[in-house]
Amino acid sequence: MLLWVGLGNPGPAYAKNRHNVGFLALEAIAARHGFGAWRKTFHGVAAEGSIDQQRIIALKPMTFMNDSGRAVVAASGFYRLEPGSITAFHDELDLAAGKVRVKRDGGNAGHNGLRSMDAHIGPDYWRVRLGIGHPGDKDRVTGHVLGDFAKADAPWLDRMIDAIADSAAMLATGDAQGFMTKVARLAPPPLPEES
């Protein structure tokens, strides 16, 4: 069994924020692969399904980003999952818009959701880093992350989310490199004028 966690903030006011791209990715995976209905549990909402014969619990913490780890530790404790069975889908400032990278372990780069997960389960889990680009000035980071995606972002964002859902079987079977390669082929990052 795997626990896939989308990181974001709950509520309609945050739904289109760049910080919520982890929610978008997980929702697309659950919809594409016919997961069951979302239900309230583990300080969040969860849906269950299978991808390539691998049982997956999809979890969206409803605790706000800086307390995401509370939902993750509740779910992982219930299912007795080790951190290596957990994958977090999250926004990544240090990746160009539309780029997707997967890694296990590592620092949190100031990401409050990852920082909370690290505090609750340690750093030895998988991360699907979803590039949202950097605004270019550190004083604009908070506004960028907590701002909504622009209309101009829709083409590359939709391609990226769709490609992640299409490629999820590779992630479920542990082929992180194959997953990244397929996503990059299906959804190449935008050209500078497109981002």
Which residues participate in catalysis according to the annotation?
Answer: 19
From the list 84, 2, 102, 87, the residue with the least C-alpha distance to 50 is 2
Please tell me the distance from the alpha carbon of residue 126 to that of residue 83, in angstroms, as a whole number.
8
Angle at 188 between CA 163 and CA 162, to 5 degrees: 15
What residue type is 109 in one-letter code? A
Order of all β-strands in the sheet with 54-61: 39-41, 44-51, 54-61, 2-6, 86-92, 126-131, 100-104
- Let me know: does 129 contact 100? Beta carbons within 8 Å: yes
Phi then psi for residue 62, to 5 deg, are -110, 25
- Which residue is associated with the tokens 């979302």? 38
